[in-house]
Amino acid sequence: MTIKRQQDITPAVLAVMAQTENPRLREIMISLVTHLHGFIRDTRLTEEEFRDAAAILNALGQQSSDTHNEAVLVAGSLGVSSLVCLLNNGDGGTTETSQNLLGPFWRLNSPRVDNGGCIVRSDTPGPALFMTAEVHDRFGAPLAGAEVDIWHSSPVGLYENQDPSQEDFNLRGKFTTDADGKFWFRSVKPAGYPIPTGGVVGQLLAAQHRHPFRPAHIHALIYKPGFKTVISQVYADDDVNLDSDVQFGVTAALTGHFVRHDEPHPTVPDVATPWYALDYRFVMEPGEAKWPKPPIK
Ligand SMILES: [Fe+2]
């Protein structure tokens, strides 16, 4: 069709998108063009701004590597990652969910740890943390024999692979739930940490006067055939940035109550005060048990 005025562009492009053979790709492309054209009209995007936008998209790719994904980081910083997660879990976004963002620090093949064991593998100063967790199905029945990967940052906010002072696989472990669907372990209390700000995301945060921090959290990846693999994070309710996570990952369901204890531990004599206890319950939904691709090689 011959385009005479700006209004003619959108139906012309949509007519072409409608020819897409794959029905799902067709649906996505029609919606994308509709919203993208609407966005350009809403904002009266200038030619200069359009060139800037193209440069930003290019920079997202240029700033990404085997160990850093600026595109995922910007998606998180715009709430896109969380929205995708919430829409695809919790009965299609109608109820709360244990699912959350994978993040960049999961590693395959964490060492196996027996329940009650400790995942502190090298001297890691900080308050002790005792986590006890249950894994249930959505009707509350305990799930025995689920494989659970746990990983978290140190009390100064660094993962072991970012910190030469930590032993390989420090603060990581693989557990199996017992007959009551429980697993439990000792560690140290994690701290929140800043996301990388050297690229596009850093510029966005600066323009909006946003801090770059994620609140302290414990990552869990729970695998059991017959259930959708749970990728989760449990956030510390005493973190100052709980309500302003730069990646918008915190939900009410994922906020864990880290209970501070100033009295001696009742059974473990070497625990200094204060120490912390965290009880938490993960829920698995029916679905496919699949390991994600590890972000770290
Ligand atoms: Fe993390």
- pLDDT of 294 reads 84
What is the pLDDT, as a whole number, of residue 126? 96
State residue 1's pLDDT score. Answer: 75
Mean pLDDT for each consecutive 10-residue tract of the chain (297 residues)? 92 98 98 98 98 98 92 96 96 94 93 98 97 97 98 97 95 98 98 97 98 98 98 98 98 98 94 97 96 81
**What CA–CA distance (Å, rounded) separates 48 from 60?**
19
**pLDDT confidence of residue 297:** 63
For ligand 1, the distance from its centroid to the CA atom of residue 117, given in whole angstroms, is 22
Tell me, in angstroms, the distance from the centre of ligand 1 to residue 6's CA.
46
Alpha-carbon separation of residue 263 from 81, 95, 129 (angstroms): 41, 38, 14
Provide the strand spans (E) within 106-165.
128-137, 147-152
Distance 149 CA to ligand 1 centre (A): 13
**For residue 269, cis peptide bond before it (omega within 30 degrees of 0):** no
How many A from CA of 264 to the centre of ligand 1? 29
DSSP state of 224: -
Residues within 5 Å of ion ligand 1, judged at the Cβ atom: 103
Distance 265 CA to ligand 1 centre (A): 27
How far does residue 21's CA lie from ligand 1's centre (Å)? 40
Tell me the CA–centroid distance for residue 116 and ligand 1, in Å: 23
* Closest listed residue to residue 235, CA positions, set 273, 274, 280: 280
What is the CA(246)–ligand 1 centre distance, in A?
Answer: 12
CA of 103 to the centre of ligand 1 (A): 6
Q: Quote the ligand 1 centre to 215 CA distance (angstroms).
A: 9
- Specify the pLDDT at position 88: 96
Helix (DSSP H) and strand (DSSP E) numbers for the chain: 7, 11
Write the CB contacts of 69 (distance below 8 Å, at least 6 apart in sequence).
Answer: 104, 295
0.75 exceeded by the pTM?
yes
If you measure from the C-alpha of residue 27 to the centroid of ligand 1, how many angstroms do you get, rounded to a whole number? Answer: 34
| Residue pLDDT, tens place only, 226-264 | 999 999 999 999 999 999 999 999 999 999 999 999 999
> From the CA of 16, how far away is ligand 1's center (Å)?
42
Compute, in angstroms, the gap from residue 189 CA to the centroid of ligand 1.
13
Structure token pair of residue 55: 């440069």
